[in-house]
Structure 1
Amino acid sequence: MLNNIRPALERVLTPVGNAVARSGLSPNAITVVGTLGVAAGALALFPRGEFFWGTMVITAFVLFDMLDGAVARVTGKISKFGAFLDSTMDRVADAAIFSGLMIGLYRDDQALLAGVALYCLVSGVVVSYAKARAEGLGYTCNVGIAERAERLIVALVAAGFDGLGVPYILAVALWVLAGISTVTVGQRFATVYAQARDAAAAASREPEPHP
């Protein structure tokens, strides 16, 4: 869903990317620093129950991390390795966020909700892997009601408000995330299965070459 606003977001980030590029900071350095900041905020603050301040730190570094693409575009340093690094670091950041939530909830005697946070972590990895593996096999897999950006926004907004004392919001958000992540995995499996079935049917209709 948020992919629809990506062009507008790129127009906003490009001037900022120009300013950052003049500092000499490379896109890959931005990616790594942003990820390390997210991981540090999530793993240092969430386990202590500091959900509001953890969310603030994570959000700041997520916004910083968004500049890597803008800097790459304005400097002409777009590369396949940069795309690989960005995707890999995204998985690291996601794991840190949900691990931090899981530990914080478990320490707060909310074992069930900690388990839901763990499920969100695992299902999020499966959502991303399903798309990557499908594309590696030559299929398209751009489907799903819960892309990474949507899942991250829901988790962070809920964690932030929970830190301000809003009751039940984090519990509701995690259960919703667990549900929509499961649906997204199912959508991607169904999409790839349909493409594989059609490809197999088309191959079976091709005449065998005569000797």
Structure 2
Amino acid sequence: MLNIFARASVSRVTDPIGAALVRAGLTPNGMTLLGTAGAVACALALFPNGMLLAGTFTVWGFTMLDLLDGAMARARGAGTPFGAVLDSTCDRLADGALFAAIAWWAFAVAGNHRAAAAALLCLVLGLVISYVKARAEASGLHGDGGLVERAERLILALVGTGLEGFGVPYAVEGSLWLLAVLSVVTLLQRMAAVARSAREAHP
């Protein structure tokens, strides 16, 4: 949802930065790989060791690089099919590492099995939501949109870990169960969108 309303405003900020990075000799695919490697490494190294604040801010910082690869692609004229596949693949890797690391923290550090279950549920639902869109597009249909897309998933998860890191009890558990419920709604919305698209394509 945020992608719809915030894309133009964000692009006004990121496009000049992306153009400067391209002039410096960097590539969109390189930026994608850098952001993913950093987010995965920080999530797996920090959250399971109970370093919630450090994990929150470093993972957030590296995921922000994901905004720049698109800006860099626009600065070069257009993206490439391989770049699009690489970007989506890296997004799934970063998301999986984040929620797996939060689940690890919940099990091993906090001893909160409810939060761990919510993290694993969010991980699976996030992958399925993304798969619905990809599979629909491969079939010539439309299956995007919904309440919770990648940006919202990251915001809710990292707000929870950040607040818990500042000492707010049950912030991770609350944010993850909220995300799980919204993810179920989003999955239903996307399946409904695919059904509508199929009816329109084959009346």
Q: Which category of TM-score, normalised to the shorter sequence, fits these structures?
A: over 0.9
Deviation at 1:77, TM superposition (A): 5.2
Contact 1:27–1:77 (Cα < 8 Å) also in 2: no
Contact 1:33–1:65 (Cα < 8 Å) also in 2: no
Q: Which residue of 1 aligns with 2:20?
A: 19
Q: Which residue of 2 aligns with 1:97?
A: 98
- From 125, 129, 132, the equivalent of 1:130 is 132
Q: Which residue of 1 aligns with 2:88?
A: 87
Matching residue's letter, 1:78: G
Q: State whether structure 2 residue 185 is matched by structure 1 residue 149.
A: no
Deviation at 1:198, TM superposition (A): 5.2
**CA shift in 2, pair 1:129/1:30, >3 Å:** same
Q: Which residue of 2 aligns with 1:164?
A: 166
State which structure, 1 or 2, has the greater radius of gyration over its C-alpha atoms: 1
Matching residue's letter, 1:190: A
What SS does structure 1 have at the residue aligned with 2:141? Answer: coil
Distance 2:121 2:29 in 1: 30
**CA shift in 2, pair 1:7/1:180, >3 Å:** same
Corresponding residue pairs, total: 201
Deviation at 1:80, TM superposition (A): 1.1
Q: Percent of pairs identical after alignment?
A: 48
Distance 2:30 2:171 in 1: 35
Matching residue's letter, 1:102: A
Unaligned runs of 5+ in 2: none
Q: Which residue of 2 aligns with 1:177?
A: 179
Q: Which residue of 1 aligns with 2:69?
A: 68
Deviation at 1:10, TM superposition (A): 0.8
Question: RMSD in angstroms over aligned alpha carbons?
Answer: 1.4
**CA shift in 2, pair 1:139/1:61, >3 Å:** same
More divergent stretch after superposition (38-47 vs 157-166)? 157-166
Give CA-to-partner distance per residue, 1:173-194, whole Å, 9 cap, x none: 0000110111111111122223
What SS does structure 1 have at the residue aligned with 2:92? Answer: helix
| TM-score, normalised via structure 2 length | 0.94
What SS does structure 1 have at the residue aligned with 2:140? Answer: coil
Moved over 6 A (4+): none
Matching residue's letter, 2:151: A
Distance 1:77 1:187 in 2: 30
Contact 2:114–2:173 (Cα < 8 Å) also in 1: no
Deviation at 1:65, TM superposition (A): 2.7
| TM-score, normalised via structure 1 length | 0.90
Distance 1:134 1:89 in 2: 20
More divergent stretch after superposition (113-122 vs 16-25)? 16-25
Matching residue's letter, 2:8: P
Q: Which residue of 2 aligns with 1:2?
A: 2
**CA shift in 2, pair 1:26/1:51, >3 Å:** same
Deviation at 1:197, TM superposition (A): 4.3
- From 175, 187, 197, the equivalent of 1:195 is 197
Distance 1:74 1:190 in 2: 36
Q: State whether structure 2 residue 50 is matched by structure 1 residue 49.
A: yes
Contact 2:35–2:62 (Cα < 8 Å) also in 1: yes
Contact 1:14–1:70 (Cα < 8 Å) also in 2: yes
Q: Which residue of 2 aligns with 1:208?
A: none
